[in-house]
Amino acid sequence: MGFIMKGAPYFNDNTPIYSIDMEDGVLGKANNNGTIVINKDIKDPKQIDDVVDHEKVHIDQMKRGDLDYDDHNVYWKGKKYSRASMKEGAKNLPWEKEAYTKTKK
């Protein structure tokens, strides 16, 4: 009798992560091209891991088609949110709620 394996027996994450200059107060960003950027001033390895874990939730949200953005708006599950009228990264935004819940940070 045959055995069919669905997917690899391990998880392989090859998300490109870059450390760059970022504005004050911004720790990281998930880009809709599948990359993550983190603030180059973060030196604590645990904090780096926490930021990357949080941003990976956003990468997953974009892969699922729930989250997208452009220069003016963020789109969450078909609803448009104006970037000009929001505090980006606020824990009460629906895509941030999920990221904070899943990373417990």
User: 């904070």: which residue's tokens?
Assistant: 100
Tokens of 92: 């009460």
- 3-class SS of residue 81: strand
Q: Residue ranges per domain, the chain?
A: 17-103
Which pTM does this prediction carry?
0.84
Q: What is the pLDDT of residues 29-88, one digit of tens each?
A: 999 999 999 999 999 999 999 999 999 999 999 999 999 999 999 999 999 999 999 998
| CB 77 within 8 Å of CB 58 | no
